[in-house]
Structure formats: structure tokens, C-alpha cells
Amino acid sequence: MTSLPRIVITMGDPAGVGPEVCLHLLADSQIARQCVPVLFGDAGILRRVAAATKLPLHAPVISHEQWNAEWSAIDWPCVVDLQTLAADAVQPGVVNAATGRAGYTYVDRAIDAALAGQVAAVSTAPLNKEAMHAAGINYPGHTEIFAARTNAPRSCMMQYSEEITCTFVTVHVGYRDVPALLTKERILDVIELTAAALERLRDKPPKIVVCGLNPHAGEHGLFGDREEERIIIPAIEAARQQGIDIEGPLPPDTAFLPWKRKATDAIVCMYHDQGHIPVKALAFDSAVNTTLGLPIIRTSVDHGTACDIAWQGKANPSSIFSAVRLALRLIGTSPYA
Amino acid sequence: MTSLPRIVITMGDPAGVGPEVCLHLLADSQIARQCVPVLFGDAGILRRVAAATKLPLHAPVISHEQWNAEWSAIDWPCVVDLQTLAADAVQPGVVNAATGRAGYTYVDRAIDAALAGQVAAVSTAPLNKEAMHAAGINYPGHTEIFAARTNAPRSCMMQYSEEITCTFVTVHVGYRDVPALLTKERILDVIELTAAALERLRDKPPKIVVCGLNPHAGEHGLFGDREEERIIIPAIEAARQQGIDIEGPLPPDTAFLPWKRKATDAIVCMYHDQGHIPVKALAFDSAVNTTLGLPIIRTSVDHGTACDIAWQGKANPSSIFSAVRLALRLIGTSPYA
């Protein structure tokens, strides 16, 4: 019997770079010393990608039925063949309804496995949203799939790297839809989830910064509709009363200054690009995407399907390695675990 | 007779770090070989700051009347004493209506000098907006003062550094006010101003990138109100028809990726923090703020009044040096010159 945690890796959209970064991971001896990676995907596709990229595929392939019967005894890297697609049904870089549905199915089954307690965490390779939508699956991203499938009463996206870590009050909504989604309760939820996750990662009470919504954080009502005074400051004060070490709302362009981010464990952002712009600019190859507040631990690569280089062996697998390593550090942080 | 261009430097809010960074500049022998710096401010304040910070003040002081009579013969660094404040009327770090009005007056007189052709450019030390507002002067910043005083039919802010350069379709407005201000005409104006300035700075046709408004640039209408399709893409297509080398609208977090910004001369941003966040994160000590499209050349430091360290000799003057150097490179780029 192994003492290593089992981690499900989902293969991502089969037409993208997901299969090849998963092949790198499955073959890595260092990863195999830290956990038992279990790849949920299509074995036929994976064999074609291995042949095309000259990457090795030595891990044994088992069926979904075999997994469900024998998961507790599995202590070696393996592939669970979900058989969603014929091996020859996919062209490299060509996403469509079939690849979108396949990518979603891997995630769906991975969530089942995690909710059933078969695995300690899920790390996901990239989906392609347009392919999913072509299949009639209308989630904007992994974050929303996991939140919906686990009925989490509150959750939020975190982008984590050693250089900079951001959490998000809103994510995949249009620019103009953000203000109506900002409430004291939602911001306080995100602050609490952020503080709990960072305390686990840092092993000490973290220092949290909260961004304003408006330029210069509204400059005392000069810009905007006093969202800072009406909504953000009350949430910060409520968090401070809980003993959270917190500062803000800062002018958004001040929050990311080099000395400020070095003195900060995490930055709470009001909208997608407020945090994604600096994370991608500063930590493009090391950031990991995760969802806080779920009953299961879930991390994800911070890149897309990169269809222009799919199945060519060019994709940099560092983000999926970072995702698995962060998942291992987060095990035990779920508020439900 | 000198062949060096005269540049007016405005002293900024007297209670902030403006006076001391100007003292550094006035005393610099390398700057004096490149231009004739003329400081518009209050000589009494400047002497107090020099004493407090132990910075030298050897430049001669002349009156505003003397300047207006003799400007064409002035070919040495000097201080033009505008006598807006008694020397003992200011406390370090304490801004108020009096310091706000003084800071504005320096800028106002500098614009007069530039419009009269007395100087080739204006470089500004930081104003304090709350102090200006206390004085009943309701501009959100230098950009708007220069645009209003010069009746420029179109202008835009540019933040310039060697690492990253951004121009702005909107600047000092609330988050929720941005979408209504985006028009094809305004975006095309900013693209044209950007291309013209960068062509001058690079000595070749520049490569311009335009950001979307929404996360993922709307992802083909998935997020937002199709601002990309309705407004931004038509502006980009009009610019391309003029022969401008242009790409976009890019997902905003893609536009600032390291390899993308290295291949790009300037990034056109839809709103303040879209560009200010990455500029401050990546080029916090070297970025220069300038206004394109004015009949006069104007550059500015990229920092505020920093009242917490005012008059202590701690302020880093590198931004005012960068501002003057960029002004020298921009001379001749005004569409009116």
C-alpha cells in the first residue's frame, strides 16, 4: 500500500497541447516520488500524440470500470481510458464539438472520482471553450464547472505563483457587468478564502492586499460611483475584525509595484484582467490556476490549448508540473476536508 | 547664443517631493549638456528644501518679468521665481489649497511659455490632485490641464519606458464610465497619435497592439457587449487601411506577455488600469508620462507627491531625468510644430 496521494490529471482538449504536457508528467520520475498521477483521457489519442511527439508512454492503461473497481489498490502512474473518442477522430489543432465534449467528460469523471474520495486532488490540462460551446456545454471555464458540479456555496479563482498571487471577486464576465456583481458579502467571502489558503501555504498568517475598482481606488470619490467606500471598505473592515492582516483598497496600479507585491502574500482583485494582466506579465510560465472553497482540491495549468503548436512536442510542460505540485501543497485546505 | 533647447521644468506641489527632484536635475552637469533646464516655481520654497535636504542650489534666480523680457538670451540652468507663496507658508508633506494653487500656477505659466515659443518642451513634477481640488481647480491631472489650455482637438496619455509603452483611450474616469466613452473615432485617434509618436521615437514604422475591453477580448461575444466587434475592430481596420502595422484586439492579459511586449512598440489600452498596472509593475522607476497630440511637448514624472518622504532627500529623481530626456526625443513630434 502506498502512502502517496493519488492525483487525477485530466488530458484537456484532445486537439490541443494537453495530451503532450500530460505525457511529460506521466513519465517524470520526480513526480512519481511525490504522488500517484492518474491520467483521465483517451488512450488512443494519447498513443497517437506519443508517436507524433516521440514522447514515451510507458504507464499502463486501464478501463474506467477497472479504475472504479480497483482504485484503492492503484499506486503507480496510469492512464484511465474513458473512450470518449475514436483515436482517428481528432486532427491536431482542430477543435470541434467532439473534442470539446471529450475534454469536458474527462473533467466530469475526475470530479466524480474526487467527490468519491478516490483521489486527493484534480489537476487539469486546458479545455477549449469554443469547442465546449460547440458541444452545447456552456461553462466559461474550469472554475465554473467545478463550482457547479460540487454545489460549492462559495468559491473563487486563485492564480498562484511565487512571484505574485491573485484571487478574484469576479472572473468570466464582461467588463460592464462587473460593478453589479460586487457586494460586501462576495468580497468578504473571497478575502476569507484567500486568507485560509495562504495561511496553509505560508504556514503563518498571510498579508492580504485588496485592490480598488476605480483608477486610484476612486481617489475619495473623485472617480466612479464610490464603490470603494460603499462596498469594498466595509468588506475589508469586516475581515480585519476577524483578525485578518489586510490593507486596501489600494490604487490598482500601486498594488502590483515590486516592493508592494514582495511584502504581500496575495492580492484580492475585483475583475479578471486586474489580476490576470500582472500575473501573465510577471509569472507567465509558473502561475497555477486553482479554485478555492471547493470540497475538492483542484489546480490547473495557466495556459490555453495552444492549437497552433499542438502535437508537435513544442509545448512547455512546466505549468502542469506546477499545477500538480501546488495541488500537493493544498491537500487538506478544503473547508470540507 | 546656444543651440540647446530650453525646457521648462515645473516644481510640482511645493509640499511634495517635486522641489527636491528638481534640485537634482538643476545641478546635473549631463542634463546641462543636453538642454537648458528652466525651473518654474517658488525660489523661497526651493531654498528651504535645499537647506533641509542638503542638495545644492547654485542656479541663478530670475523673476517672471525678467524671464519674459530676456528668455531668448537665457542659455544656462535657472530658476524663474513665480512668487506664488511665502517661503514659510508650506510645511513638508502638508498639502492644502495654497500648495495646490501654487502647483497649478507653475504649470499654467509653463504652458504660456511653451505656447509663446519661449521653450521647446515642458516637463512636470507631480501635482497633488486633492490639493488642487481644495483650491477649486478641478482637473484630474496634468493630461487634462494641457489638453484644455491648448484647445487640442485630440490628445491622449502615453506612458513610455524602454520595457513597455502604453497609450490610453480613456484615463481618469470611473470604471463604470469607460464603455460609454469608447467610440471608433476616439480609438482611431489614439492609434494614429500612438503610431506617429512611436515612429518618431523608433525612426521606423512601429508595431502597435490594441487591447480588447473584455476578458479574453470578449471571446467572440461570450463576455461583454461585443465592444470588440462593434467598436474596437472597426477602428483597427481603419488604421490598417492607413498602413499602420497593427494587431488586435488582443486578450488584455496576452498583450503584456513578455514575448508579446518585446515584439511590440506600443500597446493601446482602453482604460487607466489596463495599462497602468503593467507599466508600474514592470517599469516603476523609469516610466515617463506624456501627452500626445498637443501643440506643445509635455512629459511628466510617473510618480506622485509622495508626501510621506517630502523634503527629506530620500526621493529618487530618476523619473524627472527620464521625463526630460524623453521630452528632448519628442521635440518636433507635435502635429502642430
Q: pLDDT, tens digit, for every residue of B171-199?
A: 989 999 999 999 999 999 999 999 999 99
Confidence of residue A332 (pLDDT cuts 50, 70, 90): low
Could you tell me which residues are beta bridge partners of residue B266? B208
Q: Which helix (H) or strand (E) holds B245?
A: strand B245-250
Confidence of residue A84 (pLDDT cuts 50, 70, 90): very high
- Write down the pLDDT at residue B337: 41
- Sheet-wide strand order for A297-300: A61-63, A78-81, A36-41, A6-10, A121-124, A297-300, A288-292, A156-160, A166-168, A266-269, A207-211, A245-250
CB contact under 8 A, A281 and B282: yes
Confidence of residue A335 (pLDDT cuts 50, 70, 90): low
Dihedral sign (CA A79, A85, A91, A95) = negative
- Work out the average pLDDT over A48-64: 96
Contact list, B225 vs chain A (CB under 8 Å)? 174, 176
- Write down the pLDDT at residue A220: 81
Contact list, B178 vs chain A (CB under 8 Å)? 175
CA distance A255 to chain B (A): 8
Residue pair B175/A179 in contact (Cβ under 8 Å)? The answer is: yes
Contact list, B276 vs chain A (CB under 8 Å)? 215, 252-253
- DSSP code per residue over A10-40: E---TTTTHHHHHHHHHT-HHHHHH-EEEEE
Residue pair B165/B201 in contact (Cβ under 8 Å)? The answer is: no
Q: Measuring CA to CA, which residue among A215, A320, A201 is closest to residue A266? A: A201
pTM: 0.89
Name residues whose C-beta falls within 8 Å of residue A241's C-beta, 6 or more positions apart in sequence.
none
Residue pair A267/A261 in contact (Cβ under 8 Å)? The answer is: yes
Name residues whose C-beta falls within 8 Å of residue B282's C-beta, 6 or more positions apart in sequence.
A281, A282, B161, B163, B164
Most confidently modeled range among B32-46, B140-154, B317-331: B32-46
- Work out the average pLDDT over B245-267: 96
For residue B252, give the nearest of A172, A213, A277 by CB distance. A277
Q: Measuring CA to CA, which residue among A167, A226, A217 is closest to residue A191? A: A167
Task: Give the three-state DSSP class for B175.
Answer: helix
Task: Give the three-state DSSP class for B6.
Answer: strand
Confidence of residue A149 (pLDDT cuts 50, 70, 90): very high
Q: What is the ipTM of this complex?
A: 0.88
- Work out the average pLDDT over A10-30: 96
Residue pair B268/B194 in contact (Cβ under 8 Å)? The answer is: yes
* pLDDT exceeds 90 at position B261: yes
CB proximity A213 to B under 8 Å? yes
Confidence of residue A304 (pLDDT cuts 50, 70, 90): confident
Is residue A217 packed enough to be buried (19+ CB in 10 Å), middle (13-18) or exposed (0-12)?
buried
- Write down the pLDDT at residue A336: 47
- Write down the pLDDT at residue B166: 98
Confidence of residue B1 (pLDDT cuts 50, 70, 90): very low
d(CA B138, CA A222): 10
- Work out the average pLDDT over B62-72: 96
Could you tell me which residues are beta bridge partners of residue A300? A124, A289
Neighbours of B336 (CB within 10 A): 9
* pLDDT exceeds 60 at position B241: yes
CB proximity A274 to B under 8 Å? yes
